[in-house]
Amino acid sequence: MHTIILPIQEIVKQPSLESVLDEVLEKHQNPEDRHEIAAILESLGWNDIRAREIFGVADVFELADILWERCSSKVMYTTFSKVERLSFHEMTMLLIRQFLRGVIFAVPMAISVVCMLTLKYSLWSYENLSVELATSIAIGTILSFVTVGGFTQAIARRGFFYIIQGYYNMARRITFHFIRLGFLVCLLICAAILILNLVIKVFPVDMLVVIILYFFFLNTIWLSVTVMYILKKELLFTGLIIVGIVVVFILFSVLNVNIIVSQLIALSLVSIISMILVIYLFKKAELKEEKGISPQLPKMSVTLFSTLPYYIYGTLYFAFLFIDRIVAWTRNSDFMPYLIWFRGEYELGLDFALLVLILPMGISEVVLTKMMMDIEISQKSYWGDETQIMNRKFFSVYVRRLLQIFLTAVISAGLLYWMLVELFANFPSLSTKSLFTSSETYLVFIVSLIAYILVAVALMNAVILFSLSQPDFAVRAIWISLLVNMGSGFLLSRWIDYHYAVFGLLLGSIVFLYLSTKEVVRVLHNLDYYLYAAS
């Protein structure tokens, strides 16, 4: 056996073709062509003489040719870096947390309903208001939801984006930027309402003042709630609502102050405290952030462009939820004095039906978290040619989740109905306005109950689309649904009776469910592509 023994010095100095190639690839993992390799070689100190001496080639270009051939034939494999699966305990805790998170968000609504039934008032409603005042408060409230809806979505999207990455400073800056924009829009709307009312005498000044004050304070509250939500301090808001109701109780029931004044004082107090709390919470959260990390925010036009679909969705979503009320209340029967005339019977049916969303909202959080985690974990377990299998698997997962949510919503509706029947049967003194004494309220309640079941499912679809960064699909679905809701409700309320506007909500919900499901199915059939696009 003939062996060549080289001096130690030579063994060390003489590189192999493989090591040279590695060196080149370290500089650029995917060289464009052999010329680029030649350039890299020269940058690494290779010249024609050295190449000739070591590898016996004519020049660097010949060496580059050899390396290019090797590089091209080299198949690169990377190992899966599998995401660690959570333990059963961890998973259970996470899901319970998510469920509570979803439910807690609806707790203030439940508290308000309980207060209405027991005290006859809450932070921004009162059972014995005159129609004028009820109209004003209803308009202020609806307007606040629709105005702020877009901003809450934008804040949630952008704020979460930075918070998840630990950039609390950026999250704070972008969040307050949106809050400022929210206030600006709110003030602009107030000014527009005032100017418009000068031209078009929609409401008298006293009603207008109530509308604007409720609108402004509720706007402030909703904006701060969103921040509390992204900072995972939902309970704080529930506490603030309770504080607000206590203030109303003291002022109205103990000190006999006018209900509107009491509520406005409480609302202003809650808004100020919540805004201060939001600033404090962010300051506190920023302390978690590593010192010295304070990158620039992206260009505002870029931020706006990327969050615009979420903003539009938020606005359209709240418009979808409330448009049937506006449609019903604007139905002119027997010479209506104003453009909008509050109808308590309609409101009552919808308010009770809205409670059906509490349970599905909690379940939805769980289902979605689980599904998105599964997708995140499993996607890397499939080969490139197994995308169809992955897509099919997640489609079937989605169908199961859809059914789960639907069943939860149906059960929730059944429970709610049973509870209300029991409530009004056993405690008739709870409210002078029972669900079951007015045929209009009853019809509205039943139809809206069905509609909200469908909305609950459709909302899950929308959140799936958001999770896969496809807000445009959600926007398209809700936009058409809103038009159907508005159009059909308008015609039915005008041609039959005002409370038939609720069928608009039902039709809109059916369309929302259908379109959103269609969009999700479309996305899931091409999940690989959308996962790639989302990344």
Rounded Cα gap, residues 515 and 521, in angstroms: 10
List Cα–Cα distances, 208 to 22, 130, 193, 257, 262, in angstroms. Answer: 75, 15, 8, 21, 18
Query: Please, are residues 478 and 498 in contact by the beta-carbon 8 Å criterion?
Result: no
Task: Kindly give the interhelix angle for 387-426 and 344-354, rounded to the nearest 10 degrees.
Answer: 130
Rounded Cα gap, residues 149 and 219, in angstroms: 9
Q: Which is nearer to other proteins, 188 or 293 (CB)?
A: 188
Closest by CA to 300, choosing from 168, 180, 153, is 180
Closest by CA to 108, choosing from 127, 124, 89, is 124
Rounded least distance, CB 140 to other proteins, Å = 18
Q: Which is nearer to other proteins, 305 or 436 (CB)?
A: 305
Closest by CA to 407, choosing from 350, 480, 457, 458, is 457
Contacts (Cβ under 8 Å, ≥6 apart) of 502 = 324, 328, 346, 349, 350, 443, 444, 447, 448, 451, 489
The dihedral over CA atoms of 171, 177, 181, 187, expressed in degrees to the nearest 10, equals 110
Q: Which is nearer to other proteins, 329 or 466 (CB)?
A: 329
Rounded Cα gap, residues 29 and 65, in angstroms: 16
Q: Which is nearer to other proteins, 330 or 378 (CB)?
A: 330
CB atoms within 10 A of CB 14: 12
What is the DSSP code (8-state) at residue 298?
A: P
Q: Which is nearer to other proteins, 389 or 496 (CB)?
A: 496
Residue 241's identity, in one-letter code, is I
Q: Which is nearer to other proteins, 186 or 270 (CB)?
A: 186
For residue 327 the two structure tokens come to: 């449609």
Distance between first and last Cα of the chain: 57
For residue 313 the two structure tokens come to: 């969705």
Rounded least distance, CB 330 to other proteins, Å = 6
Q: Which is nearer to other proteins, 200 or 287 (CB)?
A: 200
Contacts (Cβ under 8 Å, ≥6 apart) of 243 = 269, 270, 273
Closest by CA to 229, choosing from 276, 185, 281, 266, is 281
Rounded Cα gap, residues 106 and 373, in angstroms: 24
Q: Which is nearer to other proteins, 137 or 457 (CB)?
A: 137
Q: Which is nearer to other proteins, 301 or 429 (CB)?
A: 301
Query: Please, are residues 440 and 376 in contact by the beta-carbon 8 Å criterion?
Result: no
Scored b (16 or more CB within 10 A) or e, 353-364 reads bbbbbbbbbbbb
For residue 17 the two structure tokens come to: 């073709």
Q: Which is nearer to other proteins, 305 or 529 (CB)?
A: 305
Rounded least distance, CB 454 to other proteins, Å = 26
Rounded least distance, CB 251 to other proteins, Å = 24
Rounded least distance, CB 339 to other proteins, Å = 5
Rounded least distance, CB 494 to other proteins, Å = 5
Q: What angle do CA 72, 78, 81 make, to 5 degrees?
A: 165
Closest by CA to 345, choosing from 422, 437, 446, is 437
Rounded least distance, CB 342 to other proteins, Å = 12
Rounded least distance, CB 134 to other proteins, Å = 12
Q: What angle do CA 50, 55, 61 make, to 5 degrees?
A: 70
Point out which residues bind other proteins (CB under 8 A). Answer: 130-132, 199-202, 299-301, 304-305, 330, 332, 334-339, 490-491, 494-495
Q: Which is nearer to other proteins, 77 or 495 (CB)?
A: 495
Q: Which is nearer to other proteins, 80 or 495 (CB)?
A: 495
Q: Which is nearer to other proteins, 131 or 415 (CB)?
A: 131
